[in-house]
Structures are given as C-alpha cells and as structure tokens.
Amino acid sequence: MKALIKPNEYFQKSTYEEEKSKLFSQIWNFVGFISDFNQVNDFVVSNVSGTPVVVQNLKGTIRAFKNVCSHRHSIIQTTQKGNRPLMCPYHGWAYNEKGIPFGIPKKPLFSFTNEELECLKLEEYEIEVCGSLVFVRTTKNKISLKDFLGNFYPEIEKMSTNFGKLIDVNEIEIKANWKIIVENTLESYHVALIHSETFQKLGAQGLDFVFDKNNSLWDAPVLVKENEGKQAKIYKPYQKRDYKIDGYKHLIVFPNILISSTYGISFNLSHIIPVSEGISLFKSYVFVTKKDDEDKNEIIEKMFEDSLIHFNRKVFDEDKVICQEVQKGVQYSNYDGQLSDEERRVGYFQEKYKQYIPEVL
C-alpha cells in the first residue's frame, strides 16, 4: 500500500497551520491526568491547536480557559503546572470560576459596569474525562469524547484508571514533525534494527490489530510470560490488580496520544506535542499499576522501577535519533512512502488524518 501522507506534508509550514485549524481545534486533546487537579487551584497549562489554554480546579470543578488576560493580554498562568488562584501576574486581575474578572486592583479607575465585566470573560473550552485522562476541545462540535474514542473508550478508561504510581516523566525535544514520531510508534517493522538491544528483547510480535473510529490497537504476545523465571518474583506484588493482559498492548488515541502496557503491570502514556512543522515535544509518563502492600519488597520494587525507566528512556532515545533522520530525508524524497502489512496502523492513521486534512489538488 502507498502512504497517503506526502513527503512535503511533514515539513511544510502551510500543512502545519492547516493541522492547527482543521485537526487539533476539532478534536479532543489530552491535557493532563485527573490527579493533576486534586486540590482547589491546581492547574496545568497546555497549547491546544496553537492556543494557550489553562485547565484549573476552580472551587472543585475542572475548567478550561484561554490563558490570556482580558486586561492587556498577559499570559495568566506562566508555569507548566502548579497551584495558585487564576490571577494575572501583571496587574493582578483575578478571575472567578466562570472566568469573569472579579478582583481588579483599583477597580473604580475603570468604572466598569457588571455587564462590561461579564463581556471580559475568558474564552471557555469544553472538558471531558475518560478514566484518569482529561481532554479539552477548543471548538464546539457535536462529537462527545465517548463518540470520539469509540469502541476503545472502555479500554482506555480501564487502562488509565489502573495507572498507579507515576515513576517517570520524560520530556524530550525531537527535531521531527509530530506525524513522523506518531507513525514510528505505530509499527514494529523498525524494531529489529532500531531497538535490537531493548524493545526487541520483549519479543512483542504479530499482526493482531483492531481498528475503530480514528484509533487502532495492537495486541501482541511476548516472549516471556508474566509468571515465568525471574519475573515471577518481581510481579508477585501486583497479582491482585484489576487490569490483566497476556502480553503487550499498544493503542493510539488519535492523533497524538499513545498508551501501552505490558501485562497490565507497567504502563506508558506518550504525548507527542507539535511545536512547529519540524519540531515536536515528546512527553512520556511511566506508571506501575497499584500493588498489594503486604508483598512489599522495596529493593526488588526499586530495581524494577529503575529498569522500567531506563528501558523506556532508551527506547525513546533510539526512536528520536531515527525520527530526526526521517525528517532530514522527507525534504528530498521523490516517492510516496510504501507500507507493509506490519505498517497497517500507519496506513489507517494516515487515512484518518486525510479526513481532516484532505489533499489539495
């Protein structure tokens, strides 16, 4: 099968601009975990389809607003995440849970009416939650998060509610278009050469793919079963977990979230955030599932967690290097890409992408 995304769509600025307005503004975008918003005033900032967005717990409800002050345009929450009132750092305008300015220093100097203040409400965006994942959409349309995630909704819900201890957050800049990185995660054809000392050893294999809506899933048996050999001892404390799978599972939440798990014991969520047409931020979270505390062995647990962190980081560094080589290459390619059966999820991703960004003839 021929690839549907043309080489120039990986480096053209105009394609990137189109993606912001026709793709990312239309879909549900992952912005954080429900645990990021436990306390009143906990917030996370995000860039959704080129718009700065703040997602914050305001009086117990999670809300999303454009992160730009209505007074004279400063960014309101200036750090990645934290806990502080929704208050602009420039002149101190404070916003209430509806995004309306309610605390304005030297307020009489403006002589605002209440109606005028309401008109200065921060632009608000829709929020929906699936399991432990929080999503935002910047344009209103009819598709709920449940419809958007389709048949995978229960799987994503179950997987994400079983994310236990967060053991690593790894943020790397990759000099490659976001689609090159997503496509790299959607096929195992590259594993033999790129991950010969890492992922290859897990022995995940096969072509057991499931497709639904914009998303796809790979269910793969692995070489060593969960309770075989040395592993049995490591995994003993996790036996009472809710979510058990036989081997390795990998799914995409279209277009730029990847969730994977081995045995339902370790989980990875990777978020590939476009920064420009040629640069992406790769943010990856590693979790281990909730465990039975009676079976605690801190030394084994620490060794297991360290090896997981090391494994994930090594695999992603290997992918980073090759994705950057692809980014250099696409600028000179005369051919459409070619896709094998092992790359069917890449083809499916491209087909769905084309429904948002059709070919300009």
- Site residues (vs Fe ion, CB under 5 A): 319
From the list ligand FES, Fe ion, none, which binds 72 (C-beta under 5 to 8 Å, kind-based)?
ligand FES
105 phi-psi bin (left φ>0, alpha ψ -120 to 50, beta other)? beta
Q: How far is the CB of 72 from ligand FES (least distance, A)?
A: 4
Q: Tell me, by CB under 6 A, how many residues bind ligand FES.
A: 10
CB nearer to ligand FES: pick between 86 and 176: 86
Q: How far is the CB of 277 from Fe ion (least distance, A)?
A: 22
Q: Does residue 225 bind ligand FES (CB under 6 A)?
A: no
SS3 15: helix
Q: Does residue 5 bind ligand FES (CB under 6 A)?
A: no
Q: Does residue 88 bind ligand FES (CB under 6 A)?
A: yes
Q: How far is the CB of 105 from ligand FES (least distance, A)?
A: 8
CA 307 to the chain's CA centroid: 23
What distance in Å separates the CA atoms of residue 100 and residue 110, rounded to the nearest whole number?
Answer: 15
Q: Does residue 176 bind ligand FES (CB under 6 A)?
A: no
CB nearer to ligand FES: pick between 70 and 185: 70
Q: How far is the CB of 99 from Fe ion (least distance, A)?
A: 41
What distance in Å separates the CA atoms of residue 27 and residue 312, rounded to the nearest whole number?
Answer: 28
Q: How far is the CB of 80 from ligand FES (least distance, A)?
A: 19
CB nearer to ligand FES: pick between 53 and 265: 53
Token pair recorded at residue 282: 């790769």
CB nearer to ligand FES: pick between 90 and 102: 90
From the list Fe ion, ligand FES, none, which binds 319 (C-beta under 5 to 8 Å, kind-based)?
Fe ion
Amino acid present at 203: G
**CB atoms inside a 10 Å sphere around CB 294:** 7
Q: How far is the CB of 311 from Fe ion (least distance, A)?
A: 12
The binder of ligand FES chosen from 74, 96, 205, 231 (CB under 6 A): 74
Q: At what angle do helices 178-185 and 298-330 cross, to 10 degrees?
A: 130
Q: How far is the CB of 310 from ligand FES (least distance, A)?
A: 44
From the list Fe ion, ligand FES, none, which binds 161 (C-beta under 5 to 8 Å, kind-based)?
none
What distance in Å separates the CA atoms of residue 70 and residue 82, rounded to the nearest whole number?
Answer: 21
**By C-alpha distance, which of 181, 166, 193, 170 is closest to 35?**
166
- The number of residues in the chain equals 361
**By C-alpha distance, which of 268, 273, 235 is closest to 53?**
273
Which residues 90-119 are close enough to bind ligand FES by CB under 6 A?
90-93
The answer to whether the beta carbons of residues 123 and 113 sit under 8 Å apart is no
CA 95 to the chain's CA centroid: 28
CB nearer to ligand FES: pick between 12 and 41: 41
From the list Fe ion, ligand FES, none, which binds 69 (C-beta under 5 to 8 Å, kind-based)?
ligand FES
CB nearer to Fe ion: pick between 183 and 319: 319
**Straight-line distance from the first to the last Cα atom of the chain, in angstroms, rounded to the nearest whole number:** 21
What distance in Å separates the CA atoms of residue 190 and residue 180, rounded to the nearest whole number?
Answer: 13
Part of the chain binding ligand FES (CB under 6 A), chosen from 68-76, 78-86, 162-170, 230-238: 68-76
Q: How far is the CB of 322 from Fe ion (least distance, A)?
A: 8
The binder of ligand FES chosen from 59, 72, 140, 142 (CB under 6 A): 72
Q: Does residue 69 bind ligand FES (CB under 6 A)?
A: yes
Burial 141-176, CB ≥16 within 10 A → b, else e: eeeebeebbeebbebbbebbbbbbeebbebeeebeb
Tokens 């053991």 identify what position? 167
Amino acid present at 282: F
Instruction: List interacting residues with ligand FES (CB under 6 A).
Output: 69, 71-74, 88, 90-93
